[in-house]
Amino acid sequence: MTRLLVECTHVFQHPKVNSGIQRVVRNVINQLPPSVDGVECIPVVMLKGKLYRVLKLGSLNIPFFDGLMTFAGRLERLAHGFWQLHQRLDKRCTSKFAKRLLYVAYRLTALACFSVPLRLIDQVNQYQLPKRCSPLQHQPGDQLVLLDSSWHTDFFPFAERLKRDGVGIVSVIYDLIPLTHPQFYDTRLAQVFNEWFDWITQTADGYVAISATVRDQVREELQRRVGPAKADALWFDYFHLGSELDLSEARATVEPRLTQMFDTPEPVFLMVSTIEPRKNHDYLLDAFELAWAAGSTVRLCIAGRIGWKCDALLARVRNHPQLNKRLFMFNDLSDTSLEYAYSHARSLVFPSRVEGFGLPLVEAMQRGLPAMGSDIPIFREIGGEFMAYFDLAKPQTLADLVVRYENSTQFPAARNVADWQWIGWREASAQLAERTLRNLQPTPAVAQRQHANCP
């Protein structure tokens, strides 16, 4: 009997994290249908070589444990920042002795300040496990859907054992950007992702991407790595993501500085994303500086947590003459505050160089907020004629769109965003399950459809 075992290990272990993939995993799991066409759908985690059914994905709302998990999340971010600092210092060292000394100092500090405390927190959190999950025995014919960000986990040997026991492996692919554009990431992260993708090409029986664009890229990459014959024996499909901000609370407080920004009549253009190189914030600033130089009074609001390789960009923002006048930045907005921003902005602007999906576009447009985006294939897939597009080689094209919309009540897109429709997370979760199942025993018609841009 086939069962869909939908894996969510990282989000289970870090329920307070709310960035892109974590938001997707949490919403898909929370909206996962009990069954599809008679096939049971079970959220699972893999911990220390064992499989567990998830009873509660989120925390238990016990202040002590919640505080501990919040502290662990901050400690992990500090550990990552400390590692980045070590990487920068290592590049500046010219002597082998200095490099070695720096490495030893880094390892000792990381062990004492980060590794040991995080391991102790993990041990304390084990007391919560019986209330959040229960042991589950796998069966031949089960399908393990690797939904979460599994490239930094340690369950690969266990997943391989499951496959030897007759469990199918399905990999959800969010994007291939660390492979296709490694310059946007730290070297080690790109290496880890590449090693994971090597493993998944040898392990997975099928692939579900989050867009048709990424599905086609995955198929091409598999053909390149394993050859057309082996790639043709696999299956490739996709599903689309939902749009609700699930952590938004109607009675929660909106960031006061955010409400003050929207209190003045000048229109606000909103950018929502992690601050990292591929999101192209420098282009965004270039374009708005051109608009301001031409006399525009619009304001730009950048919302997103601080990521990596963005020191120069942050310095540019913090030293900008328009900061807190026409340029604003928020790095820790809640879903409630983000909902408020979507509801009060004039337009979303999204100049990303490359994406697997572009969730902020969907979140904005589903709320009736028109969007301007890079002219890249995935944004065309999502926005169609309802979005306005600009040339990534020419910041002036975005500046012209901004000024044009500032001076007109007509958004510069072929069709009105009010007529645009998108699925919610319930439909997205069901779509993932249904499209996985339809590929397990494909009929000729289904097999033909999965090689086309089918809806």
pLDDT tens digit string along 345-364? 999 999 999 999 988 999 99
Alpha helices in 274-366 (DSSP H): 281-293, 311-318, 335-344, 359-366
Give the residue, 317 or 119, on which the prediction is more confident: 317
Give the residue, 73 or 274, on which the prediction is more confident: 274
Roughly what angle, to the nearest 10 degrees, separates helices 212-226 and 187-203? 80
CA distances (Å), origin 454, targets 51, 81, 212, 231, 239: 34, 42, 8, 20, 10
- CATH code: domain 256-419 is 3.40.50.2000
Cα–Cα distance for residue pair 339/250, rounded to 1 Å: 10
Characterise 49 by phi-psi region: left (phi > 0), alpha (psi -120 to 50), beta (else): left
Give the residue, 156 or 383, on which the prediction is more confident: 383
Question: 281-316 pLDDT, tens per residue?
Answer: 999 999 999 999 999 999 999 999 998 889 999 999
Neighbours of 79 (CB within 10 A): 16
Topology of domain 3-59+129-242+425-449 in CATH is: Rossmann fold (3.40.50)
Whether residue 452 is predicted with pLDDT greater than 70 in this model: the reply is no
Length of the chain: 455
Are 10 and 22 in contact, with CB atoms under 8 Å apart?
Answer: yes
Nearest to 180 by CA among 150, 224, 145: 224
Cα–Cα distance for residue pair 377/363, rounded to 1 Å: 19
Q: How confident is the model at residue 448 (pLDDT cuts 50, 70, 90)?
A: very low
- Residue 455: what pLDDT? 41
Coil, strand or helix at 25: helix
How does DSSP classify residue 112? I
Neighbours of 410 (CB within 10 A): 9
- Residue 354: what pLDDT? 94
Whether residue 153 is predicted with pLDDT greater than 80 in this model: the reply is no
Coil, strand or helix at 84: helix
Whether residue 446 is predicted with pLDDT greater than 50 in this model: the reply is no
- Residue 69: what pLDDT? 67
- Residue 450: what pLDDT? 41
Cα–Cα distance for residue pair 398/248, rounded to 1 Å: 30
Here the tokens at position 341 are 């921003």
Whether residue 130 is predicted with pLDDT greater than 80 in this model: the reply is no
406 Cβ contact partners less than 8 Å away, ≥ 6 residues apart: 267, 291, 296, 297, 298, 346
- Residue 384: what pLDDT? 94
Q: How confident is the model at residue 228 (pLDDT cuts 50, 70, 90)?
A: very high
- Residue 445: what pLDDT? 40
Proportion of the chain above pLDDT 70, given as a percent:
89
Cα–Cα distance for residue pair 141/157, rounded to 1 Å: 19
Task: Work out the mean pLDDT of the chain and round it to a whole number.
Answer: 88
In the chain, how many H helices and how many E strands?
Answer: 20, 15
Q: How confident is the model at residue 454 (pLDDT cuts 50, 70, 90)?
A: very low
What does the pLDDT average to over 110-135?
80
What does the pLDDT average to over 246-273?
85
Q: How confident is the model at residue 81 (pLDDT cuts 50, 70, 90)?
A: confident
User: What percent helix, strand, coil does the chain show, rounded to 5?
Assistant: 50, 15, 35
- Residue 14: what pLDDT? 78
- Residue 93: what pLDDT? 86
Cα–Cα distance for residue pair 260/48, rounded to 1 Å: 48
Cα–Cα distance for residue pair 373/388, rounded to 1 Å: 6
- Residue 116: what pLDDT? 86
Torsion of CA 333, 368, 349, 73, to 10 degrees: 20
CA distances (Å), origin 96, targets 1, 99, 105, 187, 303: 59, 5, 14, 20, 41
What does the pLDDT average to over 416-436?
94
What does the pLDDT average to over 195-206?
92
Longest Cα separation, the chain: 67
- Residue 25: what pLDDT? 93
For CATH 3.40.50.2000, the residue range(s) in the chain are: 256-419
